[in-house]
């Protein structure tokens, strides 16, 4: 069983680097389906990254750093078709909310049905992005918690400063399983505010 898990993890790590997708902006392919759907993760983009987004056909971006104006909007001429669907500064020290996860799942599931190519990013593409991608991989790719964490750590840095993210990911597993949170309360998925401000009026 252990060797099967190792093979699966190696396969996913290969996919995330296949085709030269591991770029300076920490851009990686997470998953691609036969209908054209693809899910990417990234750090903050420069002009060349924005051009690459368009070359890869990325249509929508979820910005977890709340700074789309400084990047996606600034370099809009490099990828005029990219739509920012979420732009809010999440805190890596605060767990994800039920409301955000509901929005994220609806966004992902619509994209999977429609064959869209979508992406998420923060600044380095490591911590806030890593946390959300771990959730995605546990929910949509059926990865174990430990395998999702292994990929998260491989795609990030400075983890000594962000030791609270692993228990948040473990709490996300509890949330997915519909069970009581096994982590300390400050790491558990919680209810928060509605998302109208962070998701409306984006283009």
Q: What is the mean pLDDT of residues 24-42?
A: 94
Q: What is the mean pLDDT of residues 155-160?
A: 79
Q: Which residue has the tokens 């990865």?
A: 143
* Whether the Cβ atoms of residue 63 and residue 87 lie closer than 8 Å to each other: yes
CA angle 139, 112, 178 (to 5 degrees): 25
Q: In DSSP terms, which residues pair with 18 in a beta bridge? A: none
Q: What is the mean pLDDT of residues 85-94?
A: 97
Q: What is the pLDDT of residue 193?
A: 75
* Whether the Cβ atoms of residue 12 and residue 28 lie closer than 8 Å to each other: no
Q: Which residue has the tokens 């994209």?
A: 111
H or E element that contains 83: strand 83-87
Q: What is the mean pLDDT of residues 21-30?
A: 74
How far apart CA 145 and CA 200 sit, in angstroms, is: 32
The tens digit of pLDDT for each residue in 183-195 reads 999 999 999 876 6
Q: In DSSP terms, which residues pair with 121 in a beta bridge? A: 42, 63
Q: Which of 22-36, 70-84, 103-117, 186-200 has the lowest mean pLDDT?
A: 186-200
Q: What is the pLDDT of residue 53?
A: 97
Q: What is the pLDDT of residue 10?
A: 45
Domains of the chain: 2-199 (3.90.190.10)
Q: What is the pLDDT of residue 6?
A: 44
Angle of the 128-140 helix axis to the 98-114 helix axis, nearest 10: 60
Q: Are strands 117-121 and 60-63 parallel, antiparallel or unpaired?
A: parallel
On whether the pTM is more than 0.95, the answer is no
Our CA dihedral for 104, 107, 109, 115, rounded to 10 degrees, sits at -140
H or E element that contains 32: strand 28-32
* Whether the Cβ atoms of residue 37 and residue 116 lie closer than 8 Å to each other: yes
* Whether the Cβ atoms of residue 115 and residue 36 lie closer than 8 Å to each other: yes
Instruction: Name which residue leads in pLDDT, 124 or 2.
Output: 124
Q: Which of 2-6, 94-98, 161-165 has the lowest mean pLDDT?
A: 2-6
How far apart CA 74 and CA 93 sit, in angstroms, is: 28
Q: What is the pLDDT of residue 185?
A: 97
Q: What is the mean pLDDT of residues 173-189?
A: 98
* Whether the Cβ atoms of residue 23 and residue 49 lie closer than 8 Å to each other: yes
How far apart CA 33 and CA 114 sit, in angstroms, is: 11
Q: What is the pLDDT of residue 158?
A: 78
- Is the pLDDT confidence value at 82 over 70? yes
- Is the pLDDT confidence value at 21 over 90? no
Q: Where residue 156 falls among pLDDT bands split at 50, 70, 90?
A: confident
Q: What is the pLDDT of residue 198?
A: 58
């Amino acid at each position: 069983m252990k060797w099967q898990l190792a093979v699966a993890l190696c396969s996913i790590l290969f996919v995330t680097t296949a085709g030269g997708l591991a770029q300076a902006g920490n851009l990686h392919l997470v998953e691609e389906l036969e209908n054209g759907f693809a899910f990417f993760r990234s750090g903050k983009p420069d002009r060349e990254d924005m051009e690459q987004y368009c070359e890869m056909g990325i249509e929508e971006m979820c910005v977890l750093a709340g700074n789309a104006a400084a990047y996606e909007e600034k370099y809009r001429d490099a990828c005029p078709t990219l739509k920012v669907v979420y732009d809010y500064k999440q805190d890596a020290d605060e767990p994800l909310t039920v409301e955000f996860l509901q929005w994220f799942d609806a966004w992902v599931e619509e994209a999977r049905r429609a064959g869209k190519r979508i992406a998420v990013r923060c600044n380095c593409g490591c911590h806030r992005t890593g946390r959300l991608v771990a959730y995605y991989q546990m929910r949509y790719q059926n990865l174990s918690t430990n395998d999702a964490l292994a990929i998260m750590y491989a795609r990030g840095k400075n983890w000594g400063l962000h030791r609270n993210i692993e228990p948040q990911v473990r709490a996300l597993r509890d949330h997915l399983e519909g069970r009581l949170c096994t982590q300390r309360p400050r790491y558990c998925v919680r209810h928060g505010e509605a998302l109208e401000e962070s998701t409306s009026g984006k283009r």
